[in-house]
Structure 1
Amino acid sequence: MRGFWGLMRAYWFSDRWHEAWALTAVIALLTAASSKVGVWIAQAGGELTSAIALFHWQENESPLATIVMAMVWLVFLVIAHDLGIFGVRHLFSTTLHRKWRGWLTGRFNAALLDANHTHLHVQAGGRDADGTAVPAPDNIDQRVHESIKDMTGGAIGLAMGVLQVVSSLFFFGQVLISTSTPIAGLEMFGTYGAAVLAFAAVAAYVPLNTWFALKLGGALERLSVASQKVEGSFRAELTTLLRRSFHMAASRGESVQQETNDRLYTGIDRVWARLNWFDAGYKAYNKIYDFIGFRVVAYAPGLLPYVNNDISLKNYVTGAELVNRLIQECSWFIHVMPSIASLKANARRVIELADAIERVQSPDDFYRSTGRSEFRFARQHGVFGLTVRDLELMHAGEETVPFLSAPLLRFRRGEWTFIKGASGTGKTSLIKAVNGLWPYGGGEIVLPEGVATFYAAQEVRLPSVSLKQLVCLPQPEAEHTDTRVAAALHRAGLGEFIESLAEPGRAGKAWEDLLSGGQKQKLVLARILLHRPGLLFLDEATGALDVQAKVAFHQAIKDNCPGITVISVMHETEPPRSATGAEFYDSVLAIADGMAVKTPLRPGLPAELTTILEQPEPLLRPVAKARAQLPVGQKQR
């Protein structure tokens, strides 16, 4: 789906092809029926006009009845066309629009929210195969929501218009040919002279104006893309403003925000003004085009044979109406050129996002285009815990000196390590790198095999789901009973909310807006207690809690997660202790001058670490004995 036509046809060749083609077939049949009835409407219009013009003709024995019958027939055809065919076709086309948009949005959601963390990587700029810098796609939310919606709707409208033009050319052409008469000067065409003259008039008038409309459409497309960018930026700023509303009020930063909003809206106003100029000019051009086409070009081909008395007034008016309708149908491209420009603009926005998603499918290769990215991840027996070797962390660019280095770090199973260092030294970056979330640098991270990990960040954002789903994340709520979830909430200090497990909020507010910063961090604690991971990363995960709550946070993990390995970043210079004064942490990892050095915190710990890390044979004897009894293929694995 990285090209326009690939994006357009993907749904019709997907696993839901039967749905797409069935709706398309119904729409195509109704479009053909619309064109056929349109021919009858044109003929009925000619009959009515002729009946009115010949009202006082002496040979017309019942002029009033003729007019009434022609009028009734015309009204019936219009109602059948607009209410029956057009209305039903609109229902099917909007259904196709809904289905296609839903499928395409689902594909992009799945691509962005995959296990590769594509949603994270796609927000970083990179380089293409030629080395040209490629910025990150702006306003991804707008592309997934508005651009896909408008693109799919516009594409269906465009396809319906093309079908309408083709079917109209067929049916109107049939009638024009069947009713054609010889024309003086065009004797070489025989009885097809009038039809040739009509087709020549349409061919001379419509394509030239369509070419001119395409040129204007190109400018409208560029302005539409610019408009979407500035509109999306303004909306994103307003959304962010509402999320940080309290902080703005506390800092009295409304005046600065006003300047930001005014600056962003100035960009909208500037693009909108240019778009209005083009739009106004295009509408005026459309009006002039329609008048000349419907009142001059449509009546010109039959005028000469009518003046020469080769055709009757009735045939002249009917032929003019047919040419008029043919011009209308063939002019569809001109009338909807602004919509086509919008379609192309939306498609471009969606394709850019698809390209960005494709570029980050291999994150290492993607980040290597803008810096060094040479991380290696491996697994080892859980008895060895976590090992980090030759770790160097860098920023994007061509820099060669890392801002943080760690030649060798070992975290034994069940060990609690406290990371300390001044702000900006790379404490959080280290944790991110171990979890595969820091892109630049290199080194080897060997994770314990078969051990679940959990990353608890300082800032907690809660999606709009039930409280039980929030506690069960990232697992489905069906995997945990209400009793277990309630117990985890109680142990985390959120027992007051147990009765609202199935609710997405309370008192009309979502949990994101209802819970305080400290309560959100207690909610994360409830997740830890429910899932009981073997390897836990706390990235200032207790920053919003008071001293007693921090102690309770650590004590709950110590009591309910035996054997867990904890690596924690905190603001404090010294790690917290239990209520009895006992140490929670076993070691300290200090970061200073670009180096990470790990030392034991408890007396007597070095000898224990030496036994485990330098002489692991006693611990591995049971493992070796078990492996010796396995088949050869399984031994190697």
Structure 2
Amino acid sequence: MRNFWGLMRAYWFSDRWKEAWALTLVVAFLTALSSKAGVWFAEASGALINSIAYYHDAANADPLSSLLFNAGTLVALVIFKDVGITGSRTFVSATLHRKWRGWLDSRFNEALLDGNHTHFHAQHAGGSEAPDNIDQRIQESIKGMAGGAIGLAMGVMAVASSLFFVGQKLLEMSTQVSGLEFFGRYGSAVLALAAVALYVPVNTFIAVKLGGLLERISINMQKAEGSYRGELTTFLRRSFHIAASRGENVQKDMHGRLYVDIDRTWSRLNVVNAGYASFERVYNFIGARIVAYGPGLLPFIHSRIDLRAYITGAELVNSLISQCSWFIHVMPAIATLRANSKRVMDLAEAIESVQRPADFYRETGRSEFHYSSQNQVFGLTIQNLELNHQGHDTEPFVRAERLRFRRGEWTFLKGESGSGKTSLIKAVNGLWPYGRGTIVFPEGVRTFYAAQEVKLPQVSLKELVCLPEESAGYSDPRVASALHKAGLGDFIEALNETSREGKSWDQVLSGGQKQKLVVARILLQQPGLLFLDEATGALDPEGKIAFHQAIQDNCPGVTVISVMHEATPPKTAAGEEFYHSVLTIADGVATKKPLAPPLPAEITTILNQPQARPVEEGWLRLRLRQRQK
């Protein structure tokens, strides 16, 4: 789906091809029937005009009945064509639109949300331009593209069927034309077809040029609107912070600057649309009133055909012009279709390009990470790790020769802001693009990455607790138990509710409660390897202790690597250590050491007396060795 025609035909050659072709054939049949009905309409129009023209003719025995019959026939044909045929075709084509859009939406969601983390890599696309506003591309662009393509396809079907049925009728009614005797009885048909062949292509060329301009402006409009919408979404997520800091004026200016781009692009789009609409109206008038009635005028003047045949022929030519002008009439839709399809194709190309993340990132930097597994008794091992930023000549900002995290070991990761703490655990989890190193995971051990929750999805509380797993795999009692142990027992009665008192869980739960929700997930899913990335930032000291205590009491044997802003890791309520080691990043080097046990009070007292230190040196060494044992 990386090119236009591949994108257009994918659905019809997918596993749902029977559905696609069945709906398409029904649309094609109804379109052909509509074209045939157009011929009947032209004949009925000619008959009605003829009954009016000869109403007072002496040969007309019952003029009123003839007039009413022809008028009734015309009205019945209009109802049959516009209500029966066109209405049915609209419903079937809308169903095809819905099915095609649903299939495309599922394909892009499957591609983005695969085990390769494609959605993440596509938005961090190295040196190439990452696709902007992916949500807009998947929803609005796919919807508009599918609808536009079906409409254009129906136009092509209508042209083909009209050429057949209308052309057939014109040939049937054709007569000789003075000056064109060498065409014989097909003179009037040739004249009519020649008029259409000259008039439509010239104006189509003009429409194509205007359509190209419309396409470019439409793409710019989509980008501008997507950027503005993206900022509005970010603003709503930061609503509390903006209110607390009284930052409304700055946010207002930001919105104003973004909307200026929309306004300018919209102004250009309006000018082109207005010009195109004027061009189309003039084209329609000349086609319907001059080109359509011109070819039949010569044989009518020379009495080759009567008024009824002249009117019928003119209506047939008008119908043919109208059908063959579908390209002109739908050029704005074609421009929108091309703009939408380009947005979708760019997304498909971005998805395709990151299917092999390492190869993709090597184009814009160094990416030589290797991941493997080993017996879980050896825990997690990191060897020769170097983290770089984008670019082939950048120096590593974090280095680690060899780090080992034993089963059941808790490690506190500390360092100054910007030192690379989060980058390191991202690299361990395959989410940092640039650098090198070998990461060996314990075999068969489930990992869990807990970061600060940004925004909770609008699902039930049970589903929130079960994330990232599906809720069907866990019973209500197990989920309720996890909530209770995490300190959220007050919400157990609303376990299967998507809201509480009309508010979503994202609005109901405070920042601290959201982090307790993370604890509930950990207790429920029992990971063997746990990464905590500022997962306790919204908790008070007592809450942080409870957070760690719940994991220690309910997740035996779990290996924990935790990033926190604190200079020292939290301890139990009794003053004992949760953590066994400290991983420090300083001057770009990561070093891991055992967490030093607290010194006894008597040793601290002696060390605070410099004059006593030489005398007691041997005794202090002995006491320290005993305590370390």
TM-score normalised by L of structure 2? 0.94
Is the 1:539–1:568 Cα contact (8 Å) retained in structure 2?
yes
Q: Determine helix, strand or coil for the equivalent of 1:160.
A: helix
Which residue does 1:616 correspond to in 2? none
1:588 to 582, 592, 607: 582
**Residue 88 in 1 paired to residue 88 in 2?**
yes
Cα drift, residue 459 of structure 1 = 3.4
> Do 1:218 and 1:341's aligned partners in 2 also have CA atoms closer than 8 Å?
yes
**Alignment counterpart, residue 186 of structure 2, candidates 165, 188, 192:** 192
Structure 1 match to 2:157: 163
Q: Structure 2: which amino acid aligns with 1:84?
A: G
1:416 to 410, 421, 435: 410
Alpha-carbon distance in structure 2 between the residues aligned to 1:548 and 1:417:
20
Q: Deviations over 1:525-546 (max 9, x none)?
A: 0000011111111111111001
Q: What is the identity, as a one-letter code, of the residue corresponding to 2:23?
A: L
Partner of 1:464: 458
SS of the residue 2:132 aligns to = coil
Distance (whole Å) between structure 2 residues aligned to residue 125 and residue 388 of structure 1:
26
Letter matched to residue 458 of structure 1:
Q
Aligned pairs for 1:431-446 within 5 A: 431-446=425-440
Q: How does 1:374-523 map to 2 (within 5 A)?
A: 374-523=368-517
Task: Tell me the alpha carbon deviations over residues 501-527 of structure 1, each in whole angstroms, 9 at most, x when there is no partner.
Answer: 101121111111211111011000000
Whether 1:365 and 2:367 are equivalent positions in the alignment is no
Alignment of 1:193-212 (within 5 A): 193-212=187-206
- Residue matched to 2:315: 321
- The root-mean-square deviation of aligned C-alpha atoms, in Å, is 1.1
**For residues 105-124 of structure 1, what are the alpha-carbon distances to aligned partners after superposition, in whole Å with 9 as ceiling and x for unaligned?**
00001101111111100012
What aligned pairs does 1:273-352 form with structure 2 within 5 A after superposition? Answer: 273-352=267-346
Equivalent-residue separation in structure 1 for 2:350 and 2:49 (angstroms): 59
Please state how far the C-alpha of 1:46 moved relative to its aligned partner.
1.0
- Kindly indicate whether the alpha-carbon contact (under 8 Å) linking 1:536 and 1:564 is maintained by their aligned counterparts in 2: yes
In the TM superposition, what is the alpha-carbon distance from 1:189 to its structure 2 partner?
Answer: 1.2
Question: Shift of the alpha carbon at 1:67?
Answer: 1.2
Q: CA deviation at 1:317?
A: 1.1
**Helix, strand or coil at the partner of 2:160:** helix
Structure 1 residues 142-181: aligned runs within 5 Å: 142-181=136-175
- Structure 1 residue 254: deviation in Å? 0.9
What is the CA distance between 1:329 and its match in structure 2? 0.9
Distance 1:344 1:168 in 2: 26
Quote the offset at 1:52 in angstroms. 1.1
- Give per-residue Cα distances to partners, 1:573-595, cap 9 Å, x unaligned: 11111111111110111111101
Superposition deviation, residue 458 in structure 1: 2.2
CA distance in 2, matches of 1:400, 1:66: 90
What letter matches 1:528 in structure 2? I
Mapped partners of 1:114, 1:280: distance in 2: 45
Q: Deviations over 1:79-121 (max 9, x none)?
A: 0111111111111000000000000000001101111111100
Q: Which residue of 2 aligns with 1:111?
A: 111
Name the structure 2 match of 1:26: 26
Secondary structure at the aligned position of 1:2 is classed as coil
Match of residue 68 from structure 1:
68
Return the match for 1:553 from 547, 550, 567: 547
**Are residue 51 (structure 1) and residue 51 (structure 2) matched?**
yes
1:99 partnered with 2:99: yes
1:534-573 per-position Cα deviation (integer Å, ceiling 9, x unaligned): 1111111111001111111111111101111111111111
- Give the Cα separation in 2 of the matches to 1:441 and 1:549: 36
**Does the 8 A contact of 1:473 with 1:527 survive in 2?**
yes
1:249 aligns with 2:243: yes
For 1:92, give the aligned amino acid: V
How far, CA to CA, are the matches of 2:125 and 2:496 in structure 1? 40
393-402 vs 180-189, greater mean Cα deviation: 393-402
Decide which of 257, 261, 265 is 1:271's aligned counterpart: 265
Structure 1 residue 567 and structure 2 residue 556: aligned?
Answer: no
Counterpart for residue 6 of structure 1: 6
Cα separation, 2, equivalents of 1:321 and 1:579: 92
Which amino acid is 1:273 matched to? S
1:236 alignment counterpart? 230
CA deviation string 1:460-518 (max 9, x = no partner): 43111111111111211111110010000000000000001101121111111211111
Deviation at 1:53, TM superposition (A): 1.6
Per the alignment, in what secondary structure is the counterpart of residue 402 of structure 1? coil
Task: Name the SS for the 1:122 alignment partner.
Answer: helix
Q: Read off the aligned partner of 1:419 and give its amino acid letter.
A: L
Q: Distance in 2 between matches of 1:193 and 1:421?
A: 91
Question: Aligned partners of 1:311 and 1:557: how far apart in 2?
Answer: 96
Aligned counterpart, 2:348: 354
1:182 aligns with 2:176: yes
Letter of the 1:468 partner, please give it: K
Cα distance in 2 for partners of 1:459, 1:406 equals: 29
Specify the SS of the correspondent of 1:134: coil
TM-score, structure 1 as length reference: 0.93
What residue number does 1:262 align with? 256
TM-superposed CA distance for 1:603, in Å, is 5.1
Kindly indicate whether the alpha-carbon contact (under 8 Å) linking 1:210 and 1:334 is maintained by their aligned counterparts in 2: yes
CA contact (8 A) 1:460 1:521 kept: no
Aligned to 1:42: 42
Q: CA deviation at 1:366?
A: 0.9
* TM-superposition CA deviations, 1:153-175 (whole Å, max 9, x none): 00000000110111011000010
**In structure 2, what is the Cα distance between the partners aligned to 1:125 and 1:481?**
40
Q: Once structures 1 and 2 are overlaid, which stretch shifts more, 520-529 or 179-188?
A: 179-188
Alpha carbons 1:51, 1:63 under 8 Å: kept? yes
Q: Does 1:526 align with 2:520?
A: yes
Measure the CA separation in 2 of the matches of 1:591 and 1:219.
55
* 1:425 alignment partner AA: S
Could you tell me how far apart the structure 1 residues matched to 2:498 and 2:388 are?
A: 41
For residue 217 of structure 1, what is the amino acid of its counterpart?
A: G
What amino acid maps onto 1:67 in structure 2? Answer: L
Helix, strand or coil: the match of 1:6? Answer: helix
More divergent stretch after superposition (458-467 vs 319-328): 458-467
Any conservation in 2 of the 1:451–1:533 contact (CA below 8 Å)? yes
| Aligned 8 A contact 1:460 1:520 in 2 | no
- Deviation of 1:602 (Å): 4.5
Distance 1:359 1:222 in 2: 25
Amino acid corresponding to residue 34 of structure 1 in structure 2: S
Q: Could you tell me which amino acid in structure 1 is paired with residue 35 of structure 2?
A: S
For 2:128, the equivalent position in structure 1 comes to 134
Aligned pair count reads: 598
Counterpart CA distance in 2 for 1:283 and 1:100 is 30
Aligned residue for 1:539?
533
Deviation, 1:65, is: 1.6
**1:321-355 Cα deviation digits (max 9, x unpaired):** 11111111111111111011101110000000000
What is the SS of the residue equivalent to 2:123? Answer: coil
Q: Which amino acid aligns with 1:243?
A: R
In structure 2, relative to structure 1, the CA distance for the partners of 1:16 and 1:460 (3 Å cut) is same
Which stretches in structure 2 are left out of the alignment for 5+ residues?
Answer: 599-629
Amino acid at match of 2:65: A
Amino acid paired to 1:104: L
For residue 383 of structure 2, give the secondary structure of its aligned residue in structure 1: strand
